[in-house]
Structure 1
Amino acid sequence: MSDREETLRDLADRLREYDAVADAFVAKSFTDHHLMVDLERRESVPTEIRDLLAAHDLRGSNAEYDTETDDPSFAGDLGDGTRHQFVDTQTRGDHQSYVVD
């Protein structure tokens, strides 16, 4: 595990301590690391959490990938809550997945 991935996992652990957060975890796409944040209720990410993520070079995936949506990080509904996705801009494009032919 890289130092950056360990930092992101530690940040996810820290986010789980917030009352509004049901879960937080690191995920990977083909090229990027993501930090997923599941909120307890159907609301946007609290400003305090957004500021913390921005300080760690994490940006809402909708904003980073320019998906033209109103919420910079909304990824979908989860029962009574919502999932939000943040891209690690510090290492964006560095991750490589292996494809099997």
Structure 2
Amino acid sequence: MDDRRDELEDVIAGLRAHDAVADAFIAKSFTDRLVIVDIDGPDEVPPDVVDHLADHDLRGADGVYSDREAQSFAGSVGDTTRHHFLDMQTRGAHQSYVVEVE
């Protein structure tokens, strides 16, 4: 495991201890690493969680991709609200896979 992934695993462990966080985990988009945070109920991400993520160079993915301020909302999953945070330290560093059809 690389050092950055180890750091993100530590961040996630801390998030899981927060009362408002139902779950948190690392995911990968085509070219980026994301931290996914599920918040109990229909609530927004608490400001202290957003600040903690920002301290580790994680920003609301929709806010980065669309230049909107700190947007992280990705939808509802059961009784939780899902938010995506983009790892700015490794942004664009992952390879996407292309399948060629003949």
TM-score by length of 2: 0.89
Structure 1 outlier segments of 4+, above 6 Å: none
- Corresponding residue number in structure 2 for 1:87: 86
The RMSD of aligned alpha carbons is 1.6
How big is each residue's C-alpha offset from its partner over 1:77-100, in whole Å with a ceiling of 9 and x where there is no partner?
112220000000111001113434
Kindly indicate whether the alpha-carbon contact (under 8 Å) linking 2:64 and 2:70 is maintained by their aligned counterparts in 1.
no
**2:25, 2:35 within 8 Å by CA — same for their partners in 1?**
yes
Deviations 1:44-87 (A, max 9, x none): 0000000000010000011010175x870000011222000000
| Percentage identity across paired residues of the two chains | 54
User: What letter is aligned with 1:5?
Assistant: R
Structure 1 residue 5 corresponds to structure 2 residue 1: no
Structure 2 residue matching 1:65: 3-state secondary structure: helix
Q: Hey, what does 2:35 align to over in structure 1? A: 35
Number of residue pairs matched? 100
Greater Cα radius of gyration, structure 1 or 2: 2
State the partner residue of 1:78: 77
Which ranges of structure 2 fall in alignment gaps of 5 or more residues? none
Cα distance in 2 for residues equivalent to 1:71 and 1:40: 19
Q: Which moved more, 1:28-37 or 1:91-100?
A: 91-100
Give 5+ residue unaligned stretches, structure 1.
none
